[in-house]
Structure 1
């Protein structure tokens, strides 16, 4: 019996249909010699700090740095049942082999391996590595299962990433939170991203706009422009000199040029385009694409490649034709050049994101709005990428007047190529194609003369633009890409960047502002203050990019995981031992809220807001809600005084509690019974009833 472990129930169902497992059980599907079960994302995770020492439940400077020697793991809260199912299945005597069918990437590998290690399984493991959820792709994947040892380095890289994030996150967050008196979330990747956004806003705030001037000569049908001039008087003088003068063109040069079709999407470029065109966040785009993948409409989304492999050349043209049917009239002749999108050397784990043959019978109108829009982007990109170049003629005209050179440029489309496909797509969506900035020039020749009317046009230099998700993703992807042999050294990975941005927003270090479609990412006062006090080692995009490159080296087997983690640990020790509080920090981090007590989960301060009494650390989740049903059912209020007593002693005495059963009142001692779940629970000890 082959036990197949997928990452999600929906993926498990698709696999079960292919292998012939059709008997649905509690937590798995069985049949045809297979048992197909699933994780629910991460079932096993790195244990919290207090697992190593109970005193670590409270945040104390004296306990830092916390550097586990023997790493421990725990089952994710709320997922214990499915973990038990997998353990029982793995221990079944009739199970002789296990197939890892989690997502074919770094995190997917980690999800399976941690489960496998936690249940202390010793049975042989095979790896299902696929890029599509189509039945044919799944079937082919099972015909080409590989020994899981082949992916050991991928696992080591994933585990190092998790441990490094734990070490930096736990120690740096506690260090700065304790020293500055409030929760300040710090991370190996999130802090450099925040620093980039703060730096951009600083550049915008100090920018001083400077005027510039150009002299323009209207030649009746086209306009010649001078270079930018900084001095207004010089521009006026040149304008007076040129006005009404006879102008002879000394150069009219025309060249035929071409614009190549765009590359296929990897996840980051899809997220960028989706943000730019549709206003979707990076996380929304990933979610929509993942859902399309599970519906077998697109290939695996978490990829950093923009090319296909040569073995796909035979079947992809049929996919192109199916995709073109979304917006092109039936029978339209297509240009399909697979050479433009095929490069084995630029595909590592997964090829670019493209639609599958299932789009041929897809009722796109039935898809949710977000999925529909993203699918159309992916469909359009494939058809364009294999299409013809856009050919155009470019004409550059030059003239000397008053001792200055004037130029004009014109552009004439000779063959639309892929641009014609884009126009057809936009027409079908009833959207106007973007107009080309350069217009065609009239027929003119070298030596032609014109009498001009001269004017001065004033402009102003503009500040850098606020980051959008489109532009910050580009900055993250290309951070320090000029280092060492021009290898790209980005921050984060395509699979993690969206989550990092969301965490920065959730922890109130960033915020989205702007209209519905064009939202900017702006640092909050708290975010700016945090970057102000963080040392360069924590906020350096260069250092983080180098760490990401080292994780890739581990994945390739060219670097020891021990060496990588040693560097992370040494940096953390140095940070704790050498960091000194910035003078005047009370101005950066004013304490405006009254502290009611310490959070029983993480040791941070608990403060009051409109709805309840909550831990300052938004990621902790501890909250005593004022409208708690436990109290309202007894006609009692969870007041500030009650909350303070519960936080101090873990219990509080309540008098005059109402009994729904008897209608009478009674006294009781209410105790906190917090298990770390979404809601805090309470227990009661009864005292003498009142008559």
Structure 2
């Protein structure tokens, strides 16, 4: 019997359907010759510090550097603490039985780093030593699944991918556990101050931008603008001199003559090549910018579209395709001839020679760029439509022709003051015709065709105006701009092709970046304010502690991400592990040595956000890792609000709002006993917490 193990039940069910497997076994679906089983994501994780004898949080523990890492079953929260999740234990027993009976194991977890890690950790935990093969597909259409099973790869082909995933997992444990404990211990254990390999430099970028933005001094300045005329065409030219005050600009404007002389006329043609195909990261940015979706929401919707066979593998980091995939593009374009918004563009493109700029096998990683599939979509939800449409439209844009425009720049002078007039004429809309969009940032769009003029010609000045302007600070990070900054470890660059070459030096991966942002929010380090991401007082306190340390430097973590990618291609694993261990030892000792400073900066220091206990009216509410409780508990006050309520972990902000105001706003992420997600506010009355729907 061949045992196929998928990452989750829905995928196993879909694979089983293709093979006609309908019979239900223990934790599997069966048909003659095959059994399809599943994990629940990360069933097995690296064991916590307690497994190595580090019980409690004590100053002598860090750095904790296990020689050999142990694996453990994912834990579930119970009243007494944490225990092995019984559902996971049961499914592991089912998987172990199937592996024991298997003549062949086929790995069908997600075809990338984390999917490989999920299987290998289960395989190692169960002490299985049977050989296995790998299913590697980029689409869940029936044809792709069947072809994938015909072309299974030896499991050893992906050993280096596992080594990369394992190094990532162990590095995050070593840095996260040690630095978090060292920082929290040094700060007096008033609350958990969590830091991590990727989350800390991400927090640093958000805090630094926020401080820079709030400290920016807006400076007004003034310019002179002329309206000129020739052959009945009126156009505008703006002075190149900035004046510090309006009276100064007005005085200069008085000297401007009634005419201006043409100094030069430059006409040049520019082209814009089509944008790269989407990967997950660029799709998340567009979805946030246009629809306000969080990175996590976009990831969830793309996964849903993938499992419904409507798009290819979503967790891709590539924005290119190879020749084999290119051969399918004409058919995919024909499918869009029936799309309500893209039919015209698809019809036009079908009759053209396709642009092959992004057909390059060397730039394709383990999965090609995001594409639609040959499956014709039926009824969409609003969320599915919002994500499917940019994947489809970007595919049309990327294989379309260049956009051409003619730029005219006229330089004039009047009373020794230089003025510039810009005009643009679109020669061919090319790829911009797909969505009929104009350029997002283009100073030339203020004017269309300028009149024909020649050097040394004198033009009549129709009107002189004073323009009032202000210097602008860099905007606060939105989720879209933060994801963009994380791609290149904080280096700002707009050129997409250049950004693509930098992606291996970024913070995290397209898949993990969403989780990093959500983790920072859950830890009460940042919050969403409209579209912006801003730090909380707690986040700013942590940033103040670490801002000058290596852990907060995006470039360092970006270099580590590059090393992980190099490990995937076969470079030295021990060297990276030693570097991480040496770094963790150094940074934890540095944090512990700064204990007094950290205690002064602790977000729970006396006098800041003091909350009188609503029950006894005497004690002070203390925020601890597992709950908020009264400091006067030794006198009998039992007031407690647990952080974990119905599967959702409350942040410090949630707890403070609930205790100080008696009610939170509506919160998402609760899970009922039946396993269904729901949204509700929390209310506090007579010391008891209840849901408000």
TM range (shorter): 0.7 to 0.9
Change (3 A) 1:549 1:467: same
> Residues 372 and 340 (structure 1 numbering): CA distance in 2 closer, same or farther, change over 3 Å?
same
CA contact (8 A) 1:212 1:228 kept: no
| Structure-2 change in CA distance of 1:596 and 1:72 (3 Å) | farther
Give 2:63's match in structure 1, choosing from 62, 65, 86: 65
State the Cα distance separating 1:33 from its structure 2 match: 1.6
1:259 to 265, 268, 272: 272
Matches within 5 A, 1:179-190: 179-180=186-187, 181-190=190-199
1:27 and 2:40 aligned: no
More divergent stretch after superposition (163-172 vs 290-299): 163-172
Match of 1:356 in 2: 373
Residues 479 and 490, structure 1, Cα contact 8 Å, conserved in 2? yes
Query: In the alignment, is residue 607 of structure 1 matched against residue 619 of structure 2?
Result: no
Q: After superposition, give the CA deviation of every residue in 1:239-296 in whole Å (9 maximum; x if it has no partner).
A: 11114x2223232322222222111101110000000011100000011001100100
Among 419, 423, 431, the alignment partner of 1:406 is: 419
State the secondary structure of the residue aligned to 1:84: helix
Q: Which residue of structure 2 aligns with residue 555 of structure 1?
A: 568
- Residue 397 of structure 2 aligns with which residue? 384
Alignment of 1:636-647 (within 5 A): none
Decide which of 83, 89, 96 is 1:87's aligned counterpart: 96
Matches within 5 A, 1:45-124: 45-53=45-53, 56=55, 58-76=56-74, 77=85, 78-92=87-101, 95-124=102-131
Give the direction of change, closer, same or farther, for the CA distance of 1:390–1:583 in structure 2 (3 Å limit): same
Q: Does 1:581 align with 2:595?
A: yes
Match status 1:439 vs 2:455: no
Aligned residues: 601
Match of 1:471 among 470, 481, 488: 481
Deviations for 1:108-162, whole angstroms, at most 9, x for unmatched residues? 0000101111111121100111110011111111111111111111101101111
Map Cα deviations across residues 543-572 of structure 1 (whole Å, 9 max, x no partner): 111111111121111122x22222212122
Greater Cα shift, 227-236 or 204-213: 227-236
Deviation at 1:454, TM superposition (A): 1.7
State the distance in 2 between where 1:512 and 1:383 align.
33
Matching residue of 2:543: 531
Q: How does 1:229-378 map to 2 (within 5 A)?
A: 229-232=242-245, 234-243=248-257, 245-326=258-339, 327-329=341-343, 332-334=347-349, 335=352, 337-358=354-375, 360=376, 362-363=377-378, 366-378=379-391
What corresponds to 1:6 in structure 2? 6
Summarize the Cα distance change of 1:618–1:456 in structure 2 as closer, same or farther, 3 Å threshold: farther
Deviations 1:24-64 (A, max 9, x none): 333211114211111111111111111222x52x2222222
Q: Secondary structure at the match of 1:423?
A: coil
CA distance, structure 1, for counterparts of residue 649 and residue 17 of structure 2: 42
- The 3-state SS of whatever aligns with 1:29 is strand
Q: Deviations over 1:429-485 (max 9, x none)?
A: xxx9999833213432215432212222121101110000011001100116699x9
Q: Work out whether 1:217 is the aligned partner of 2:231.
A: no
**1:631 matched residue in structure 2:** none
Contact 2:334 2:347 in 1 (8 A): no
2:688 counterpart residue number: none
Call closer, same or farther: CA 1:433–1:60 in 2, change over 3 Å.
closer
Q: Distance in 2 between matches of 1:154 and 1:41?
A: 18
Partner of residue 673, structure 2: none
Structure 1: stretches of 5+ with no match in the other structure: 427-431, 624-677, 679-691
User: 1:541: Cα distance to partner?
Assistant: 1.1
SS class of match (1:176): helix
Find the counterpart in structure 2 of residue 499 from structure 1: 515
- 1:147 is matched with which residue: 134, 145, 154? 154
In structure 1, how many angstroms separate the alpha carbons of the residues matched to 2:388 and 2:304? Answer: 10
- Kept in 2, the 8 Å contact 1:313–1:338? The answer is no
> TM-score by structure 1 length?
0.82
Q: CA offsets, 1:406-427, max 9 Å, x none?
A: 1111111222222221029x9x
Structure 1 or 2, whichever has the larger Rg, is 1
Relative to structure 1, the CA distance from residue 386 to residue 165 in structure 2 (aligned partners, 3 Å threshold; closer, same or farther) is: same
Deviates most, 150-159 or 390-399: 390-399
Distance 1:619 1:62 in 2: 35
Distance in 2, Cα, partners of 1:461 & 1:481:
22
TM alignment of 1:589-668, pairs within 5 A: 589=603, 590-591=605-606, 592=610, 606-607=628-629, 613-614=640-641
Q: Deviations over 1:612-634 (max 9, x none)?
A: 724679999799xxxxxxxxxxx
Query: How far does the alpha carbon of each residue in 1:202-257 deviate from its partner, in whole angstroms, 9 at most, with x for none?
Result: 111221111222111111421011114143355333311114x2223232322222
- Determine the C-alpha separation between the residues in 2 that align with 1:115 and 1:423: 50
Going from structure 1 to structure 2, the CA distance change for 1:587 and 1:313 (only over 3 Å counts) comes to: closer
Contact 1:214 1:226 in 2 (8 A): yes
1:509 pairs with 2:509: no
User: TM-score, normalising length from structure 2?
Assistant: 0.81
Q: Is the 8 A contact 1:264 1:385 kept in 2?
A: yes
Relative to structure 1, the CA distance from residue 340 to residue 321 in structure 2 (aligned partners, 3 Å threshold; closer, same or farther) is farther
CA distance in 1, matches of 2:596, 2:363: 46
Distance 1:74 1:614, change over 3 A: farther
Distance of aligned partners of 1:584 and 1:318 in 2 relative to their CA distance in 1, 3 Å threshold: closer
Q: Which runs of 5+ in 2 are unaligned?
A: 75-84, 494-498, 612-618, 632-637, 651-676, 678-693
SS at match of 1:550: helix
Give the corresponding residue for 1:18: 18
**1:457 maps to which of 447, 459, 467:** 467
- 1-structure distance, mates of 2:466, 2:392: 47
CA distance in 1: counterparts of 2:588 and 2:645, whole angstroms: 24
Distance 1:143 1:290, change over 3 A: same
Cα RMSD of the aligned pairs, angstroms, is 3.0
Q: CA deviation at 1:394?
A: 1.3
Alignment partner of 1:219: what SS? strand
Q: Show the counterpart of 1:41.
A: 41
CA contact (8 A) 1:595 1:606 kept: no
Contact (CA 8 Å) 1:303, 1:351: kept in 2 or not?
yes
1:587 to partner: Cα distance: 5.3
Tell me, yes or no, if the aligned pair for 1:550 and 1:559 is still in contact at 8 Å. no
- Contact conserved, 2:227 with 2:236, CA < 8 A, in 1? yes
